[in-house]
Amino acid sequence: MKIRDIQTGAISLPLAHPFKTALRTVERVEDVAVRILTDTHEVGYGEAPPTAVITGETTGSILSAIREYIRPAILGMDIEEMEEIQRRLHGCILHNTSAKAAVDMALYDLWGKRWNAPLWRLLGGAKPSFETDITISVNPVEEMVSDSLEAVRRGFHILKVKVGKEGKKDVERIAAIRRAVGPDILIRVDANQGWEPRQSVSIISAMEDRGLDIELVEQPVRAGDLEGMRYITRRVQTPILADEAVFSPEDGLKIITSGAADLINIKLMKTGGIWQALKLCAIADSFGVRCMTGCMLESKLSVSAAAHLCCGQSIITMADLDGPSLCALDPFEGGPDFREARVTMTDAPGLGITGVPVERWNS
């Protein structure tokens, strides 16, 4: 099964509601789609969102990385030489992790097809389904409360609440949501680097003192401030989850050994795909550090790849894979069954996606 061509296209989907974090506001998913064609007439699919504020990548940079560097590096290679293909994929250009992730997942899609097995089974086969949270955007408190109630009505038991713009006021947001949804709903808080270290300790301690029962706090301070993260992690009871601070397996090792966080959020767009994500899982697993798998604003295509990783690995105990639930429509065919909170895998080979809404593919 040799790589005959690597093509790109555009996925454009409206979101049901604007997505707002401490870093940005987005209204549509506008992603780069990747399609790898083989000499045996198999097709592997991948996707990359241009998340400039996190990975530094734009639509133009993703397209250039794939066309000018990755494509020539692996064209003509056999899918069975996965190790060598991956070395070339990661060695042909630095950074550009989302571009690499899109190609990596298309390769794994083909790899599953080559061995006629669903990817999650080849990646470890830990569990056939999981429950994802859903994101509640940063908005006026009343709106966040009604969005939370709506999510619970849809069947979500885990809310990931975005904060980080207004310091101490964030405590009031969480308190209002907790009052509205009651004690049985799990609440995660994501500050997206919006706080300072001392401020974080005071906010998180206030949430603890008020008994708001927060499962974890994600990336309270700037990604580069490991000292700040360690300062917080040492002083609060609530587990701290590193997100923007961890891209590579090396980042994960540094965070874990320095005690900068208790948990790690693995996203394919940060690691550069499944190949590197597996190394990060292995490092976390060897230290007993549980992981979450998350996504950027992605459609069902790339979120499916993350779902396969999640089901493959038992060290991934938390999922923030709500991309498909945030989209206003689902034009894909096949793939895991994203039924609101519950995501269930199928036994279709590879990623299982058979239809992708791309109008034109370019070589």
For residue 348, give the DSSP letter: -
Token pair listed for 109: 């899609």
Interface region with Mg ion, contact rule CB under 5 A, candidates 6-14, 72-80, 213-221, 270-278 = 213-221
Distance CA 320, CA 158 (A): 9
> Do 66 and 8 meet the contact criterion of CB atoms below 8 Å apart?
yes
What's the chain's length in residues? 363
| 243 binding Mg ion? (CB under 5 A) | yes
In terms of CB distance, is 18 or 91 closer to Mg ion? 18
Distance CA 324, CA 304 (A): 9
Interface region with Mg ion, contact rule CB under 5 A, candidates 32-40, 105-113, 173-181, 241-249 = 241-249
In terms of CB distance, is 109 or 243 closer to Mg ion? 243
Token pair listed for 339: 């039924």
Q: Is 352 helix (H, G, I), strand (E, B) or coil?
A: coil
User: First and final CA of the chain: distance in angstroms?
Assistant: 19
In terms of CB distance, is 147 or 244 closer to Mg ion? 244
Q: Is 267 a catalytic residue?
A: yes
Distance CA 187, CA 203 (A): 15
Q: What is the DSSP string of 285-341?
A: HHTT--EEEE-SS--HHHHHHHHHHHHH-TTEEEEE--HHHHBS----EESSEEETT
Interface region with Mg ion, contact rule CB under 5 A, candidates 113-121, 171-179, 217-225, 227-235 = 217-225
In terms of CB distance, is 86 or 132 closer to Mg ion? 132
Interface region with Mg ion, contact rule CB under 5 A, candidates 209-217, 218-226, 283-291, 305-313 = 218-226
In terms of CB distance, is 6 or 23 closer to Mg ion? 23
Residue 91 Cβ vs Mg ion, minimum distance, rounded to whole Å: 28
Which of 267, 270, 279, 300 is catalytic? The answer is 267
Distance CA 194, CA 224 (A): 13
Sheet (strand 240-242) strand order: 134-136, 158-162, 186-190, 214-218, 240-242, 263-266, 291-294, 316-320
Kind and range of the H or E element at 54? helix 52-55
What residues numbered 189-208 form the site for Mg ion, per CB under 5 A? 190
Ramachandran angles phi, psi of 264, nearest 5°: -130, 135
Q: Is 168 a catalytic residue?
A: no
Residue 96 Cβ vs Mg ion, minimum distance, rounded to whole Å: 20
Residue 22 Cβ vs Mg ion, minimum distance, rounded to whole Å: 10
What residues numbered 172-191 form the site for Mg ion, per CB under 5 A? 190
| 322 binding Mg ion? (CB under 5 A) | no
Residue 191 Cβ vs Mg ion, minimum distance, rounded to whole Å: 8
Torsion angle (degrees, nearest 10) of CA 63, 308, 252, 231: 110
Token pair listed for 283: 């490092």
In terms of CB distance, is 66 or 163 closer to Mg ion? 163
Residue 147 Cβ vs Mg ion, minimum distance, rounded to whole Å: 17
Give the binding-site size for Mg ion (rule: CB under 5 A). Answer: 3
Residue 42 Cβ vs Mg ion, minimum distance, rounded to whole Å: 34
Residue 192 Cβ vs Mg ion, minimum distance, rounded to whole Å: 6
In terms of CB distance, is 78 or 225 closer to Mg ion? 225
Place of tokens 């207004």: 166
Which of 162, 165, 169, 270 is catalytic? The answer is 162
Interface region with Mg ion, contact rule CB under 5 A, candidates 85-93, 216-224, 337-345, 355-363 = 216-224
Rg (CA), the chain: 20
> Do 66 and 238 meet the contact criterion of CB atoms below 8 Å apart?
no
| 298 binding Mg ion? (CB under 5 A) | no
Q: Which residues are catalytic?
A: 162, 267
- Residues of the shown chain interacting with Mg ion in the complex, contacts defined by CB under 5 A: 190, 218, 243
